[in-house]
Structure 1
Amino acid sequence: MTKTVGVLGGGQLGRMMVEPANRMKIPINILDAPGAPAKQISAHAGHIDGSFKDAESIKKLAQACDVITFEIEHINTKVLEELEGTVAIEPHWSTVRTIQDKYAQKEHLSSHGVAVAESISLDQATEDDLRSVGARYGYPFMLKSKTEAYDGKGNYPVKSAADIPDALKQLGSRPLYAEKWAEFKMELAVMAVKTSNGTLAYPTTETIHEDSICKLTYTPARGVSLEIRAAAEALAKKAVATFAGKGVFGVEMFLLADDTLLINEIAPRPHNSGHYTIEGTHVSQFEAHLRAITDLPLCEADLQLREPAAIMLNVLGGATPDSHVDIYDRAKQTARVRIHDYGKAEARPGRKMGHLTVTAASMRDAEALINPLVAAVDAQKGREPSVPQSVAPQPLVAIIMGSDSDLPVLAPAFSILDSFKIPYETRITSAHRTPDWMYSFVTSAEARGFRAIIAAAGGAAHLPGMAAALTTLPVIGVPVKASTLDGVDSLYSMVQMPRGEPVATVGINNSTNAALLAARILGAADERVRKCLRAFYEEHHEEVLRKDARLLEVGPAAYLEAMRK
């Protein structure tokens, strides 16, 4: 039986939840003001006009649905508690109540062994209290409101004792807590989905904030190793598994300087950092939320990226009422940019009016699409561009060699890749003389967007084999003819790899075949590269036929004489 879903709140998150519900024929009723963004794209009489904090309106919604969910956590959990047993509430009201109080949220996570920043409660904070925090944690530290805080509102960085009076002026009327400063090098986010069968995770996302509001997300997180991304996803799943109920949770975290992770905060609902999933993954966070709360099938593979890279740019209200429309007009000039307008009537500075998403075969390709629009957003604010307006193509093939003496052998590979317009990066790294540098380069290759590695080496020729042992990317070995043994030693070193560590080895000094093999690997998922390969082989076919015709025309003696000249 199809369950009817009731949603507390009809803003942009509710609107984006309605879209998959419509496609899936899941009845969905919205409780919010008339004309709310979610109601604009769902015309039926089952919606309820009113406040999503009003007890009577919530009870009325409960009578018209099988499961209640929400697009904002600042809701009336008391009435939800009263409704328990009469309607399903997902995630559970107790989860919402805990997460509403950010200090209680931190205590809950810490009690379950989930890493969070150290913090202390300050319900009735005084200047002396904050000076005591400064003595305990040092400066800077964060002063935060326990409740009703979002997009940086309710947070105050206390950088020195001189900031204490203003911090209390800004936040002193609220229940507060102080948090030890987390010296992070990057902010990450993972959308996690709690289902009746366990907890799943979307890929790790890098979030860029400006004025305490999320501006951009990059998925997968740039320059972050596979190990750290896996650790972030595992941490998100561990954290979300501690809460009752089902649905999507947005887990924000800090990547510290020592590569450890701390959870910053959790939202018990779809989240801004997961908007890229609408185009970027097989199943969006909004459809995943609906599936989780109505017990429809969902698995980890459903949450993976459709293309290797996705970027989301928030579009905020600017100085003029139509500034966001100007950004949309610019976005329309690039067919691969997806525009999501939230249907809000009034554009105010800093208000989230919509977002843009691009997906591409590499992060650099995605950046090339989105960066002119980021520059336009920056220009509206009178700021210098925060990203380069032109981006070099993402190198897809890494070409490594043990010595610069191998460069002449690799020249034909460069020529092939250049003719196919396959971007590549060439580096010198010796398995014997620079093992640490080789390890660093190879282990980060996949996270940097490479799809294949060509490794040339002579003599003992351990470079391709060591590279293959450090990555799951395909490694193509090019044996280089050295001064002794004619390169046979290098050939044997590559082809005689032990079981489980394959190196695709070409002939001695035959980098042409290495480049063609790399192109075939890329071409499996790229029609443009396949066309280049077909044209290459057709030209070789025609060349052989031309030579045969010439041989038949002039005879072998004249043909040989022409060859000698």
Structure 2
Amino acid sequence: MKAPVIGVLGGGQLGRMMTEAAHRLNVQIVTLDADNAPAKQINAKTNHVNGSFTDADAVRALAKECDILTVEIEHVDTDVLEDLAAGTDTRPDWRLVPATKIDVQPSWRTIRVIQDKYHQKEHLITQGIPTAESILIENNQAADLEKVGAKLGYPFMLKSRTEAYDGRGNYPVRSTADIRGALAALNHRPLYAERWADFSAELAVIVVKTDNDVVAGKWRHTTKAFPVVETIHEDSICKLVYAPARNVSEIVKQTAQELARRAVASFWGKGVFGVELFLLPNGDLVVNEIAPRPHNSGHYTIESCHMSQYEAHIRAILGWPIPTESIDFLTPGINAIMLNILGGAHIDSHLDVEERARSVIGARIHDYGKGDSRPGRKMGHVTLVASSMSSAEARVAPLIELVDEIRSERMNPQTTLQKKLKIRTYSQRTMSDDRLSGKTPIVAVTMGSDSDCSVLAPGIALLTELGIPNIVTITSAHRTPDRMTQFAKSAADKGIKVIIAAAGGAAHLPGMLAASTHLPVLGVPVKASALDGVDSLYSQVQMPKGCPLATFGINNSINAAQFAARILALHDVSLRVRLEKHLADQTSSVIEKAEEMERIGFEEFYQKIKR
């Protein structure tokens, strides 16, 4: 039996990828959007409709070409969708034309609620779904925002209720000084304020709803969830998606899926929904926003899952089966990273990223066909799939660096983007490059006396080798206590993230630093003239409860430096790449020596190393 024809309101990148999925299923797609929109470029099978998805007459024209209507963007005219779904039309110039009744998925009612973000929040609250506290702004006056600040506290987020996406329509109000700028930027929009979410991670779940109705308590039967992913936003636009989410327990992932499914089950109609969530420091989850369509956070599903979010959407609105296992990862150990490519200061800046990606093993490039770019416009994305997250991160690192360079030029047009052939990855840079560029030190190395220099020298050399900006100084716990305390208390404000401290004898320096800062302090006991450094070791490992100090072997600054690098690499992909190379070099060195010893024999090898 021939599949119904699907009409899609919107022909951007989401519509384009939906069309690609439809082609593989032999499903016909008709698109309403501007001529030569991305979705239309790859679909010559039908006569598409040119026009705007906000134009009621254009939507009616699309309805006459298809059996089911769906959306790739929620900013559409829901009044005409309501009429079409009911088979009624009150426009005088359409009365002589037979009424068109058409299936709209998801329901126009769902789209109407979700496209007004304040109404979306109200709906979620009535359904018992936790979300950030929001306050309606009545008059868009400074006095209104001052009242919000008094109630919610600062900072809070000022948001447009409608037509807000990719950072447009959001303005962080950090103090009363920001109120004037916020109103200047958003005053022409209907607004609401949202309590600031001090989250530890942003998560996202793609949910498939397979039933038209809203049946309380039946969310397990009407919804299915793709894996939980972590999203990284920059300038309020999604930059990176990590699948699965990093450093998140299985319990939190399961809770996130269930919360997302409950939220989606409360809406009407069928299809794929993108659910954004905040993971709070106490482990609680709140729903941030919901999109009634495929979502940027689900691009990874194309390469990583048995079924992409786009195929799942088509199957859902057609009523075709979606086995639960089909929306899981291809294999249990799969890891993926999706990187968005945004337009830069030049019309072809995004092409630089695509060109670099062609040399990256396993990179899957998706160019959206939008032609000349605009600053900040989504022009494409790259997905990398690997057997481990560290491997995927290593491969994507040079692409992230180039994206950051393009953003820097976009945000500051006065700077000049490095020439393509001269851009180097962090692994190719040297410490002198960082110092010349004025990079702020992030590791502080201190000692109780200049006699400890020889102990710390190997660790400092390793920091330099790994390209970690550092500063080295002397602070004595006994001879300069005021200097030591000031050093510890001001370190974080100066950009320091880890402190390495070496001391001998009583060795109070590392412990006192740990007591004076929230930063991680790594202690290196120094071998003194008496007791062979055991006194220093005991002094550091016997810290009282509530004052943690990581302590390493006597005179072992190498381990302290490497441990500092591991801490920093948790949030620095480029450093992680350099660290992994360093560890791999260590392994290779041992293997080479073992092979040489086996080849020439122990005696000869021993004499060689003695020389």
Question: Given the two structures, how large is their TM-score scaled by the length of structure 2?
Answer: 0.62
Does the 8 Å contact 1:141/1:180 carry over to 2?
A: yes
Q: Tell me the distance in 1 between the aligned counterparts of 2:259 and 2:230.
A: 15
- Give me the whole-angstrom Cα distance separating, in 1, the residues matched to 2:346 and 2:144: 43
Partner of 2:326: 302
**Structure 1 equivalent of residue 374 of structure 2:** 348
Instruction: Report the CA distance between 1:382 and its aligned residue.
Output: 3.7
Q: For 1:281 and 1:288, locate their aligned partners in 2 and report how far apart those are by CA, in whole Å.
A: 11
1:339 and 2:339 correspond: no
Identity of aligned residues (%): 56
Structure 2 CA distance for aligned equivalents of residues 13 and 114 of structure 1:
27
Residue-by-residue CA offset, 1:81-109 (whole Å, 9 max, x unaligned): 11014110000000000001000000000
Matched to 2:235, the amino acid is D
1:20 is aligned to 21
Q: Residue 244 in 1 paired to residue 268 in 2?
A: yes
Letter in 2 for 1:209: H
Give a deviation string over 1:321-344, Cα, whole Å, max 9, x none. Answer: 221111111111124100000001
| 1:370 paired residue among 388, 396, 413 | 396
The CA distance in 2 between the partners of 1:377 and 1:255, in whole Å, is 26
Of 172, 179, 183 in structure 1, the residue corresponding to residue 198 of structure 2 is: 183
* 2:210–2:271 Cα contact (<8 Å) kept: yes
Secondary structure, aligned partner of 1:311: strand
1:129 and 2:144 are equivalent in the alignment: yes
Give the conservation status (yes or no) of the 8 Å contact 2:361–2:395.
Answer: no
Structure 1 runs not aligned, ≥5 long: 391-565
Shift of 1:19: 0.4
Per-residue displacement from partner, 1:534-557 (whole Å, max 9, x unpaired)? xxxxxxxxxxxxxxxxxxxxxxxx
**Counterparts of 1:126 and 1:209, CA distance in 2:** 29
- Structure-2 residue corresponding to 1:78: 79
Shift of 1:318: 1.1
Amino acid at match of 2:299: H
Paired residue for 2:309?
Answer: 285
Q: Is contact 1:375-1:389 (8 Å) kept?
A: no
Partner Cα separation in structure 1 for residue 123 and residue 318 of structure 2: 27
Distance, in Å, in 1 between the alignment partners of 2:287 and 2:377 is 26
Matched-pair contact (CA < 8 Å) for 1:118–1:180: yes
SS at match of 2:8: strand
1:65 alignment partner AA = C
The answer on whether the counterparts of 1:248 and 1:288 sit within 8 Å (CA) in structure 2 is: yes
- Measure, in 2, the Cα distance between the counterparts of 1:289 and 1:248: 5
What is the one-letter code of the residue matched to 2:363?
A: V
Deviation at 1:20, TM superposition (A): 1.1
CA deviation after TM superposition for structure 1 residue 181, in Å: 1.2
Q: How far has the Cα of 1:381 moved from its partner?
A: 3.0
Provide the residue aligned with 2:44 in structure 1.
Answer: 43
**1:388 positional shift:** 6.9
Partner secondary structure for residue 381 of structure 1: helix
What is the distance in 2 between the residues matched to 1:52 and 1:146?
19
The one-letter code of the counterpart of 1:81 is E
Partner of residue 327, structure 1: 353
Matches within 5 A, 1:437-456: none
Call closer, same or farther: CA 1:389–1:12 in 2, change over 3 Å. Answer: farther
Matched residue type, 1:37: P
Q: Is the 1:127–1:165 contact (alpha carbons within 8 Å) kept by the matching residues of 2?
A: yes
Shift of 1:50: 1.4
The residue type equivalent to 2:123 in the other structure is: H
Which position in structure 2 is the counterpart of 1:66? 67
Unaligned 5+ runs, structure 2: 87-100, 212-220, 410-417, 429-611
d(CA) in 1 for partners of 2:159 and 2:408? 30
1:147 aligns with 2:147: no
Question: What amino acid maps onto 2:392 in structure 1?
Answer: A
What displacement does 1:44 show? Answer: 2.6
How many angstroms apart in 2 are the aligned matches of 1:150 and 1:216? 16
Partner of 1:10: 11
**Residues 222-264 of structure 1, C-alpha deviations (whole Å, 9 max, x = no match):** 0000010111111100100000000111101111010101111
User: For residues 312 and 67 of structure 2, what CA distance do their matches in structure 1 show?
Assistant: 18
Distance 1:388 1:70 in 2: 42
- Deviation (angstroms), 1:150: 0.9
Is 1:54 matched with 2:55?
yes
Whether the 8 Å CA contact 2:228–2:253 is kept in 1: the answer is yes
Match of residue 206, structure 1, among 208, 214, 230: 230
Q: Which runs of 4+ in 1 moved over 6 A?
A: none
Aligned match of 1:471: none
Q: Structure 1 CA distance, aligned partners of 2:348 and 2:358?
A: 15
1:162 paired residue number: 177
What residue identity is the alignment partner of 1:9?
G
Q: What is the DSSP-based 3-state SS (H/G/I as helix, E as strand, rest coil) of the residue aligned with 2:269? A: coil
Instruction: Give yes or no for contact 2:105–2:271 (8 Å, CA) kept in 1.
Output: yes
Whole-angstrom CA distance in 1 between matches of 2:427 and 2:60: 52
Whole-angstrom distance in 2 between the partners of 1:295 and 1:28: 16
From the superposition, tell whether residues 381 and 180 of structure 1 become closer, same or farther in structure 2 (CA, over 3 Å): closer
CA distance in 2, matches of 1:102, 1:185: 23
Q: CA deviation at 1:284?
A: 0.3
Tell me the distance in 2 between the aligned counterparts of 1:102 and 1:45. Answer: 35
Q: Select which of 319, 331, 344 maps to 1:318.
A: 344
Conservation of the 8 A alpha-carbon contact between 1:279 and 1:359: yes
Within 1, Cα distance between the matches of 2:126 and 2:338?
34
Q: Is the 8 A contact 2:348 2:372 kept in 1?
A: no
**2-structure distance, mates of 1:156, 1:51:** 28
Instruction: State yes or no: 1:114 paired with 2:129.
Output: yes
Paired residue type of 1:213: I
SS at match of 2:168: coil
SS at structure 1 position matched to 2:128: coil
- 2:249 counterpart of 1:225: yes
Aligned to 1:123, the other structure's residue is in SS state coil
Q: Distance in 2 between matches of 1:45 and 1:268?
A: 25
Shift of 1:389: 5.5
CA distance in 2, matches of 1:13, 1:299: 23
Name the CA distance, whole Å, in 1 between partners of 2:171 and 2:26.
Answer: 45
Paired AA for residue 340 in structure 2: N
Which residue of structure 1 lines up, in the alignment, with residue 525 of structure 2? none
Contact 2:28 2:45 in 1 (8 A): no
Which has the higher mean CA deviation after the structures are superposed, 129-138 or 285-294? 129-138
| Contact kept? 1:372, 1:389, Cα under 8 Å | no
Contact 1:368/1:389, CA 8 A, preserved across alignment = no
The aligned amino acid for 1:322 is D
Read off the aligned partner of 1:377 and give its amino acid letter.
V
How well do the aligned residues superpose, as a CA RMSD in angstroms?
1.6
Moved more, 128-137 or 265-274: 128-137
Q: Pick closer, same or farther for the CA change 1:286–1:388 going to 2, 3 Å.
A: farther
* Distance of aligned partners of 1:235 and 1:381 in 2 relative to their CA distance in 1, 3 Å threshold: same
